Structure formats: C-alpha cells, structure tokens
Amino acid sequence: MIFVTGGAGFIGANFVLDWLAQSDESVLNYDKLTYAGNLNNLASLNNDARHVFVKGDINDSAHLCGLFFEYQPRAIIHFAAESHVDRSIVGPAAFVTTNVNGTFSLLEAARTYWQSLEGEDKENFRFLHISTDEVYGTLAADDAAFSETTAYAPNSPYSATKAASDHLVRAYHHTYGLPVLTTNCSNNYGPYHFPEKLIPLMITNARAGKDLPVYGDGLQVRDWLYVKDHCSAIRRVLEAGRLGETYNVGGWNEQTNLSVVHTLCELLDELQPKAQGSYKDQIKHITDRPGHDRRYAIDARKIEKELGWKPQETFTTGLRKTVEWYLANDEWTKQVQSGEYLKWVALQYEDEEEA
Ligand SMILES: NC(=O)c1ccc[n+]([C@@H]2O[C@H](COP(=O)([O-])OP(=O)(O)OC[C@H]3O[C@@H](n4cnc5c(N)ncnc54)[C@H](O)[C@@H]3O)[C@@H](O)[C@H]2O)c1
C-alpha cells in the first residue's frame, strides 16, 4: 500500500480518488483534519476497503512509526501542510509546527521504518515530498521561469516553511540515503478546493452576490495547473523519478489574478447568468497583502523531458470543468462554509483517534 499524509485536503483528496480509480493498491490516508481537511471529499470511498483513514498529526512520530510497521507501505506521499499564505501572515506559528517540525517528525519515522527494510522492499521504497513553486520567491515580468536550479528565496511564512521542509527532505537523502523525491508545483485549481483560495472564493462569492475581492491592481501573475494534472505528475514521479531529484510541475499557463477573475465571471455569465448585468460588476480592488509576490512561472521542461509528463488540460478546459463542478456540488460548498463538517469531525473523533 501507499501512505498518504494530508489526503483529506484539496490536492491530497483528489490524489487519493484518482489513485483508487486507476489502481487497486490500497491507501492509508493520515490526516489531522484541520479546518482544511474534509472527509466529505472522500465520501465516494465510504465502504471501500482499499481506503484506510487514520486521524493523526504528522508531529506524532511514534504514531507514524507504529503505522508504518503495521501497514508496511512501499511509499509515503507527503501532502500534509498548512497551505494558505494569508493565514501564514496572521498566524505563522502553525506553519512552522506542521510544515517544518511535522515534516521532520515524518522523516524521522520514515527513516526508522526504511532502515528496517531489506532487499527489494528497501530498494523500492520512496518518500515523495509535495512542495510549491513559492519557495523560489518572485519574478520580474521578463525574468526566466523558475527551474529546478533557481535559488530558493521564499517571501512569506508559508513559502519559508515549505522551503525549510524541502531542505530537510534533501538532507535526509544526502545524509541518510533516504530515497526521496520532491515536486515543486504551481497553483492548483479544481474540485474540492477550499473556498478561501482565489478560484473557489470567487465562484462562491459571485454566486452569493458578494464582492469579488482582488488584491491591489490584480496584475500578480501565477501559473495555474488543473489538480488532476498535478496528480498524474505525482504518480509519474513516484513511478520513474530519479532518487534525490526535484521536479517542477506547472501548467504553462501564466495568468494575472485579474484575468482569472474575469474568465471566471465570463464562465458564470454563460453557465448561470444573473438576472441583470455581469458578475464582473462585483469585482472590488482591495489593499494588497504584505510581501505579495508579483510573478511565479514554472519551467516544467525537466519532468517532460525525463519522465514524459505534460498537463492534459488547458486553462480554458480546466476552468470550465471547475466551475461546472462547483455548480453541481452546492451541498459540498455549503457544508464547508457552514462548518457542518467540522462539527461532524468533532462528534466523530471526540473519543477515538482512529477510524
Ligand atoms: N494548493 C496549491 O495550489 C498547491 C500548489 C503547490 C503545492 N501545494 C502543496 O500541496 C500540499 C497540499 O496542498 P492543499 O492545497 O491540498 O492543502 P490543504 O490545506 O487543502 O490540505 C492540507 C491537508 O493537510 C492536513 N494537515 C494539516 N496539518 C496537518 C498535520 N499536522 N498532520 C496531519 N495532517 C495535517 C489538513 O487537515 C488537510 O487535509 C501542501 O503541501 C502544499 O504546500 C499546494
């Protein structure tokens, strides 16, 4: 089986769903169920014996170690993190605790387990660390895109803690020989995205008749990747990535935030028109956030050349699928926004640690 951390979050849940749609290899999904973890994302796997969910914190090395020895995973895929830049500005401590200390505890548990393996089990074991392009800092309009050799220059507590975790992962390879792989991916979008992030926030606010808040002039540039393309890149790196290497994953899709919001409004105008006017009328520019990186762009040629991976969706096709998913899944959004699922988690896990 494979061991996934953070598999109840946005990308992790998409990964688990895609994995089990394509393979019968079981998944142990280890997640603390913070505000961002949502078991409703995995409702279609209820009663599916191939999915084992365990509630736990990646800072709990002993718990992790016990599970590794019990379930004998052949790979660990590490998604768990505090992931929202705005939250990292307001409360950076949780980011250090989970992204740095948590990754360290996980690496320690993985090292103990991996060192106990022998022969092919030891040789074939993999630790795949999921990271972000934000570790590279910011680019000017005419700078070359981030490549795997771009120097790290993180600018927010989020990106700084992710950068620290990347360095720990690298060090465990060079110091202990742990068979690690790292992916640094650009902004993801798609189903099950928590509505605090740009794209789902705009879709849900637009439909609720609320303002569409755009930071500053809205001309910050990001590369966007449809989440299922990210999942296929991770599967490919796990399958064939070279040990100790990092792979940038991107969509070749640079967009300003403002143009993302405009495209979303146009899609909504088409798919769910307002009685009067356009959703664009709800756009409101607000004060920019501190340390806001101007541009990220990913050079994803290495993964294409070495591993033959390319994104399947364009921004146009991926964004349409995303809007359609939100229109068809009102109940999911309502539950997330009402905190219903958090109440359910509290009830479900009050007296037990494992399910
Ligand atoms: N979302 C993006 O655009 C993006 C882009 C590139 C890389 N990434 C990286 O991908 C990973 C997943 O991102 P996401 O957007 O799905 O995040 P998310 O916030 O939606 O999900 C994170 C998950 O981790 C869990 N978690 C948090 N702290 C934990 C802890 N201490 N122990 C166990 N579980 C814990 C949460 O409950 C949640 O289920 C992160 O490592 C992030 O840095 C995200």
pLDDT tens-digit series, residues 182-218: 999 999 999 999 888 899 999 999 999 999 999 999 9
Closest Cα to atom 1 of ligand 1: 188
CA 12/CA 29 separation, integer angstroms: 9
Determine the atom of ligand 1 nearest the C-alpha atom of 58. 32
Block residue for tokens 């995205």: 193
| Distance between CA atoms of residues 321 and 311, nearest Å | 15
Interval between CA 161 and ligand 1 midpoint (Å)? 13
For residues 271 and 323, the answer to whether their CB atoms sit within 8 Å is yes
Q: Which residues contact ligand 1 via a Cβ below 6 A?
A: 5-6, 8-12, 31-34, 36-37, 57-59, 79-83, 98, 102, 130, 132, 162, 185, 187-188, 194
Residues with Cβ within 8 Å of 47's Cβ and at least 6 positions away in sequence, in order, are none
* Residues 78 and 68 sit within 8 Å (Cβ to Cβ): no
For residue 2, pLDDT beyond 80: yes
Q: Which atom of ligand 1 is nearest to the CA of 84?
A: 19
Q: Which of 34, 162, 336 to mutate to test the pocket of ligand 1 (most atoms within 8 A of CB)?
A: 34
| 46: phi then psi, degrees, rounded to nearest 5 | -55, 135
Q: Please identify which residue in the block is written with the tokens 């979050």.
A: 9
Token pair 């309502």: residue: 334
d(CA 262, CA 283): 9
Active-site residue flag, 158? yes
Is pLDDT at 132 greater than 60 in this prediction? yes
Q: Is 281 a catalytic site residue? A: no
- Band of residue 345 on the pLDDT scale cut at 50, 70, 90: low
pLDDT reported for residue 350: 64
Contact 158, 152 (CB under 8 A): no
The rounded Cα 16 to chain-centroid distance in angstroms is 12
- pLDDT value for 293: 87
Residue 56 CA: distances (Å) to CA of 10, 63, 341: 17, 8, 17
Q: Is 24 a catalytic residue?
A: no
Average pLDDT of 72-99? Answer: 96
Atom nearest to 12 CA in ligand 1: 16
Nearest Cα residue to atom 21 of ligand 1: 9
Task: Give the number of the atom of ligand 1 that is nearest the alpha carbon of residue 193.
Answer: 20
Mean pLDDT across the chain = 95
User: Structural domains in the chain?
Assistant: 2-189+226-253+294-312 (3.40.50.720)
The pLDDT value recorded for residue 246 is: 98
For 94, the enclosing helix (H) or strand (E) is helix 93-95
Catalytically annotated residue among 31, 57, 134, 293: 134
| 8 A C-beta contact, residue 264 and residue 199 | yes
Q: Per-residue pLDDT for 12 more than 60? A: yes
